[in-house]
Structure 1
Amino acid sequence: MADVKKYAEHDFSKVRGLTGISDNQIAEHLKLYAGYVKRTNTLTEKLFALCGDGKASGADPVYAELTRRMGFEYNGMVLHEYYFGNLTGGAQAEPPAGGKLRKAIEASFGGKYETWLADFRAVATMPGVGWAILYQDPNTGWLSNHWITLHNDGNPAGFKPILVMDGWEHAFMRDYQATERAKYVDAFFKNVNWQTCESRLK
């Protein structure tokens, strides 16, 4: 049997010195991300072993539950990689005017960046735990904002994440109260690496 694939933690040690999001908050959050990587590897190994032993069966509640759990852990790992990947200290307040990303946002939101921003902020401050994500439709190139619950619930199939914001309380509660997500959203937008986001566009 072939070797089981292993996922490695990405190095986000440079995600420091953010405005309104403390280094302690990031350090604690990165520990949580490391847990997703570890659990993804554990589940991959267990499921690979069951398949290799000819024990993969949808009728087996253990196999079925491990498979369902894999979607949660895997997407938790990947979305955190997008999230930390689109953060940087000393960021620009907005994507540059005339740039590819700015143009794509404006083309998708009635010609106004402000319309998109208001919509994203509205999504990001809705009650509940989850993620606010700007996606690109691979077929049309259009951009749209989405609320994603539980990592694996609500992701539009085939769409590409462009800007990812973790809206779970663990992302901000060292710095803000549970009722202060709007302040965290303000801080998030002071640290967006727009160049990285633009590189994700097709």
Structure 2
Amino acid sequence: MADTKKYAPRDYSKVRGLTGISDKQIEEHLKLYEGYVKRTNTLTEKLFALCNDGKASGADPVYAELTRRLGFEYSGMVNHEYYFENMVGGAQAEPPAGSKVRKAIEASFGKFETWLADFRAVATMPGVGWAMLFQDPSTGWLSNHFVQLHQDNVPVGFKPILVMDGWEHAFMRDYLATERAKYVDAFFKNVNWEALEKRIA
């Protein structure tokens, strides 16, 4: 670790005017995202200092906890970046016919509607976490997953294609805690299929 990498919050000022997700909700959510960026930097600096001083030790509970926490904060930062980048106002309802993402979904699930029903089922599961569509780099196949917290249940080496924040903080200004399904409906009115097209192999 010759030097510590500093992260800066990305500019998501254009993520406004969404259908069913208010600007106030997005503004509040972006502040939370900025907190993940700040804590990622702080933890990286602390761990670098311990490493640089020769104090890195798995037997040290402080070092161990900071290292575990870094996975949570770092993943929280990155997941939010995927999330905000795959939303746009005035989005199309579905990926265009013939697009890479549409072809990959149909190759993996048979029909777009089958994939969508499966993603919605994952997205409305109880618990704090994320609904994510991943691509297996070795086969190109797509699969939906529930990622608990920010980092648990991520298939190793798979690439995120569509990311939906399922934590209550993502929707509770606009919807009740019991109305996650309404938030999921709103989310799908704002999916930036062009962003997914760039992510897919």
TM bucket (normalised to shorter chain) is over 0.9
Q: CA deviation at 1:2?
A: 3.7
The alignment status of 1:177 with 2:176, answered yes or no, reads yes
Instruction: State the distance in 2 between where 1:89 and 1:26 align.
Output: 12
- Deviations along 1:11-31, one digit per CA (max 9) or x if unpaired, are 100000000000000000000
**Could you tell me which residue of structure 2 aligns to residue 28 of structure 1?**
28
**Could you tell me which residue of structure 1 aligns to residue 103 of structure 2?**
103
Instruction: State the distance in 2 between where 1:64 and 1:101 align.
Output: 40
Please give the residue correspondences for 1:60-71 in structure 2 after superposition, counting only pairs within 5 Å: 60-71=60-71
The alignment status of 1:43 with 2:43, answered yes or no, reads yes
Q: CA deviation at 1:3?
A: 3.3
**Could you tell me which residue of structure 2 aligns to residue 15 of structure 1?**
15
The 3-state SS of whatever aligns with 1:154 is: coil
For structure 2, the residue ranges without an aligned partner over 5 or more in a row are none
**Could you tell me which residue of structure 2 aligns to residue 141 of structure 1?**
140
Instruction: State the distance in 2 between where 1:134 and 1:18 align.
Output: 21
**Could you tell me which residue of structure 2 aligns to residue 199 of structure 1?**
198
For structure 1, the residue ranges without an aligned partner over 5 or more in a row are none
Q: AA paired with 1:201? A: I
TM-score (norm 2): 0.99
Instruction: State the distance in 2 between where 1:71 and 1:13 align.
Output: 27
The 3-state SS of whatever aligns with 1:93 is: coil
**What is the Cα-based RMSD across aligned positions, in Å?**
0.8
Q: CA deviation at 1:198?
A: 1.2
- Deviations along 1:20-64, one digit per CA (max 9) or x if unpaired, are 000000000000000000000000000000000000000000000
The alignment status of 1:56 with 2:56, answered yes or no, reads yes
- Deviations along 1:59-87, one digit per CA (max 9) or x if unpaired, are 00000000000000000000000000000
Tell me how many residue pairs correspond in the alignment: 201
Instruction: State the distance in 2 between where 1:46 and 1:152 align.
Output: 21
**Could you tell me which residue of structure 1 aligns to residue 79 of structure 2?**
79
**Could you tell me which residue of structure 1 aligns to residue 117 of structure 2?**
118
Instruction: State the distance in 1 between where 2:151 and 2:63 align.
Output: 18
- Deviations along 1:125-149, one digit per CA (max 9) or x if unpaired, are 0111110000000100000000000
Q: CA deviation at 1:154?
A: 0.7
Instruction: State the distance in 2 between where 1:66 and 1:186 align.
Output: 37
The 3-state SS of whatever aligns with 2:132 is: strand
Instruction: State the distance in 1 between where 2:3 and 2:199 align.
Output: 31
Q: CA deviation at 1:158?
A: 0.4
The 3-state SS of whatever aligns with 2:133 is: strand
The alignment status of 1:160 with 2:153, answered yes or no, reads no
Structure 1 runs (4+) deviating above 4 angstroms are none
Residue identity (%): 83
Instruction: State the distance in 2 between where 1:98 and 1:8 align.
Output: 36
Instruction: State the distance in 2 between where 1:141 and 1:106 align.
Output: 12
